[in-house]
Amino acid sequence: MEEINLFSTKIYKTHIDKNLYNHEELINTIEENYSIDSVRSDISDFETNSHNYYNDWNNPKFKKINLEEIEKIYGQKTHEFIDTLDIVIGNWKAFIVNVHASMPGQGIKPHGHLPAFYSSVHYLKLDDDHDKIIFHSPLTINQFASSIYDMSKIKNNLNATNFFSGWEFEIKEGDMIFFPSYLMHEVAGESKSNSLRISVASNIHI
Ligand SMILES: [Fe+2]
């Protein structure tokens, strides 16, 4: 039967080879900064108890981070992404907004990235035992999904996400995902891994 995919939430995933940029240097700087203070979160735009560079890039307490190489790659990937979307007319701009580093117990509470158009997150360091990003359904009714539907009758697969309140999917280190900025998401802080989880978030504005 013909499928008409109305109001769907499209998420795109690509991968960045870590040999194409100063991966080791970035990890070392972020680990060093994390060891100075595991909590870096003087932030009013979202709630977190982890180590974030958001609006704090020039804090003299920490070592400066060299994002030049990775910014170029993000630029190329974002170009590719915008071309794939095929809905943007005219200019757009994209920039890094946060580097997030966390250990077990540290996360970011549910938040969105409006007024950006789309946002991206790239995983510099992600083990199988690390938290995966959890996306919340933008459909208002799905906040109450489990009390409305008999969830045992709905298959737990990607075709059924319209009936779930939230979703997390397989993400590996080096992956970069693009998502609509209105889409609420969180990092639960339930990692089991004893190594640092590191991600870089960017916003695209049109
Ligand atoms: Fe975010």
- Each residue of 118-164: pLDDT tens digit? 999 999 999 999 999 999 999 988 888 888 889 899 998 888 888 89
Task: For 160-170, write each residue's pLDDT tens digit.
Answer: 888 899 999 89
Q: Residue 159 has what pLDDT?
A: 87
Specify the pTM.
0.94
Q: Residue 162 has what pLDDT?
A: 86
Q: Residue 204, Cβ neighbours under 10 Å: how many?
A: 22
Q: Which spans in 66-197 are helix H?
A: 68-85, 145-148
Cα 108 to ligand 1 centre (Å): 8
| Mean pLDDT, rounded, for 19-30 | 98
Cα 185 to ligand 1 centre (Å): 6
Extended strands (E) in the chain: 12-15, 51-52, 93-102, 108-111, 118-125, 134-136, 166-167, 175-180, 185-187, 197-205
Bond into 115 cis (ω within 30): yes
Q: Residue 142 has what pLDDT?
A: 83
Cα 150 to ligand 1 centre (Å): 31
Cα 149 to ligand 1 centre (Å): 29
Cα 184 to ligand 1 centre (Å): 8
Cα 111 to ligand 1 centre (Å): 6
Task: Specify the CATH number for 12-133+168-205; select among 3.90.550.10, 2.60.120.10, 2.40.110.10, 2.60.120.620.
Answer: 2.60.120.620
Cα 1 to ligand 1 centre (Å): 37
